[in-house]
Amino acid sequence: MAPKLPLHHPVEQSSTANAGGQAAAHPAPRYGIKRWLLTTNHKEIGSLYLIFSLTMFFIGGTFAMVVRAELFQPGLQLVEPEFFNQMTTMHGLIMVFGAIMPSFVGLANWMIPLQIGAPDMALPRLNNFSFWLLPVAFTLLLSTLLMPGGGPNFGWTFYAPLSTTYAPPSTTFFILSLHIAGISSILGAINIIATVLNLRAPGMRMMDMPLFCWTWLITAFLLIAVMPVLAGAVTMMLMDINFGTSFFNAAGGGDPVLFQHLFWFFGHPEVYIMILPAFGIVSAIIPTFSRKRLFGYASMVYATGAIAILSFMVWAHHMFTVGMPLTAELFFMYTTMLIAVPTGVKVFNWVATMFRGSISFEPPMLFALAFVVQFTIGGFSGLMLAISPADFQYHDTYFVVAHFHYVLVPGALFAILAAAYYWLPKWTGHYPNLRLAQWHFWLSVIGVNLTFFPMHFAGLAGMPRRIPDYALQFADFNLASSLGGFLFGASQLLFVWLIIKCVRGGEKAPAKAWEGAEDLEWSVPSPAPLHTFEHPPTFRHESK
């Protein structure tokens, strides 16, 4: 029989109780700044990642607020168009590479060793290196805004020749910052794969792992496969800009469209890198608050694998209007539609998990439920965009903006918020203020839908993306989007307040903070001691 969630795992609590028992082996500065700079502990590095990504979330969010303020009404009122372009570009880059990706890595750092009964990540020093590359990379990226000619202004997809021939001088620094961030991602992913494959508790088979570990394993594979391709593409940009090569210059025999192929060969797996860990989170939370096992565990694993494989075969659906042979249009249209099948399996399984469950609606569950509904909306608009002839109408309109924000904000970001509320008791030993968290949830849901739902209509009516001014008939849609954006942005301050309160105090959480939670992390005390599972627990998978 397929193994199930580990309902019975006689954990050797003795090993976790005497945390610090190996203090002699860890002569670590436990206080002061050095503790954070030099740490090799997966929990501390996880916290660093999470704090870093929250900071980036607010910086990228501020850029989004500038964009929404400018678009509040037609006409140019607040910022110069050149600066507007830098804001849309930096918003995208910061949110993708600085907020969403590192927050998932932070969650992986914290939770994967706890979920598989490992003492730490497989390569702890490398883990610290992966993290500290990020502040270097993003300081450099943000500093381009202050350089002569301004920062990146060509959209987060940085298509050549906008990003080569017509780019500001700071583009070279932008490229180098992406290199550093890319190295961080690759090394982090290597660490996660080595941890998952090598450090599982004795007796825990691959198919016994919580789904979060599975989805992260597959995500890490995607990262290692495509981040180097991005590095190659930006290196070609660097050479075209500074050394006179002709990769993206047709006059020399190159092709600007080549850039788009390289970018999206990275870019499409990249969007799954930003959603697969979210699937894992939701697959942990829904069973907990439905007080049932996850429906179709094995099919979830296979569906994740199928999505990962397909992600390498769909990239040109971002390029339907660029001018491709008809066979390519058809091939990429059909492969893209195929992705709906494994994704549908997942949504079905989440719903089936809840069916006849004993559901309660704590904040993690609220965010997870909103994820399922709203991610599905984003998935459906993705299906619409996958239809090549229809895409000629939607391409580069606000419909595309609505689509990817639905999968990224009420999708990926809501899953991250759900994860934060779900695991905060394990991290801090305190429950967050559940009532305030409900306020955060409802304000976020209203804000996010008010922001992004009208964008579908603006896009279908023909409003182009990445433009600081627009025709009068789009005014009402944009007014709604801006108001929603401000509401959503402001309500995230509540989240910061909640976290600070939760770190400093609150209702004490027991080891098993949620009644229906069954994974291995709930067997260690709350807050989890600095060192857990120094001697691996014996994991007994359930067989029938």
Indicate whether 186 belongs to the interface with other proteins (CB under 8 A).
Answer: yes
Tell me the closest approach of the beta carbon of residue 185 to other proteins, in angstroms: 10
Distance CA 527, CA 285 (A): 19
The answer to whether 389 contacts other proteins (rule: CB under 8 A) is: no
Single out the catalytic residue among 91, 179, 430, 456.
91
The 230-249 contact track toward other proteins, x by CB under 8 A, reads -xxx-xx-xx--xxxxxx-x
- Examine residue 200 and tell whether it contacts other proteins (CB under 8 A): yes
179 is a catalytic site residue: no
**Quick one: CA torsion of 218, 219, 223, 229, rounded to 10 degrees?**
80
Considering only 55, 157, 172, 299, the residue that binds other proteins (CB under 8 A) is 172
Q: What is the largest CA-CA distance in the chain?
A: 70
Q: How far apart are CA 51 and CA 40, in angstroms?
A: 17
Considering only residues 329-368, where is the footprint of other proteins by CB under 8 A? none
105 binds other proteins (CB under 8 A): no
465 catalytically annotated: yes
CA dist 138 and 447 (Å) reads: 28
Determine the Cα–Cα distance for residues 121 and 198; give it in Å rounded to an integer.
10
CB of 23 to other proteins, least distance (A): 11
Size of the site for other proteins (CB under 8 A): 88
Cα–Cα distance for residue pair 361/390, rounded to 1 Å? 39
530 counts as binding other proteins under rule CB under 8 A = no
Q: Does 262 bind other proteins (CB under 8 A)?
A: yes
Choice between 27 and 544, CB closer to other proteins: 27
209 interacts with other proteins by CB under 8 A: no
Residue 142 engages other proteins in binding (rule: CB under 8 A)? no
19 binds other proteins (CB under 8 A): no
User: Judged by CB under 8 A, does residue 157 bind other proteins?
Assistant: no
Q: Return the amino acid letter for 197.
A: L
227 touches other proteins (CB under 8 A): yes
Q: Is 406 a catalytic residue?
A: no
346 flagged as catalytic: yes
Q: How far is CA 450 from CA 456, 484, 485, 487, in A?
A: 11, 5, 8, 9
What's the angle, vertex CA 254, arms to CA 316 and CA 242, rounded to 5?
110
Q: Does 535 bind other proteins (CB under 8 A)?
A: yes
How far is it, in rounded angstroms, from Cα 157 to Cα 162?
10
3-state secondary structure of 508: strand
Taking each continuous run of H as one helix and of E as one strand, the counts in the chain are 19, 0
Active site residue 91: yes
Q: Any catalytic annotation for residue 444?
A: no
Residue closer to other proteins, measured from CB, 127 or 343: 127
Q: Report DSSP letters for 280-314, one per residue.
A: HHHHHHHHHHHTSPPTTHHHHHHHHHHHHHHGGG-
Stretch that binds other proteins, among 67-75, 103-111, 122-130, 505-513 (CB under 8 A): 122-130
270 binds other proteins (CB under 8 A): no
Of 4, 465, 512, 535, the active-site residue reads: 465
Q: How far is the CB of 37 from other proteins (least distance, A)?
A: 5
Q: Which of 56, 93, 122, 162 binds other proteins (CB under 8 A)?
A: 122
268 binds other proteins (CB under 8 A): no
Cα-based angle 155, 132, 137 (whole degrees, multiple of 5): 25
476 is catalytic: no
Active-site pick, 16, 195, 215, 283: 283
371 in Cβ contact with 346 (< 8 Å): no
Residue 20 to residue 531: CA distance in whole angstroms: 7
Kindly list the catalytic residues. 91, 120, 156, 184-185, 268, 270, 272, 283, 317-318, 343, 346, 465
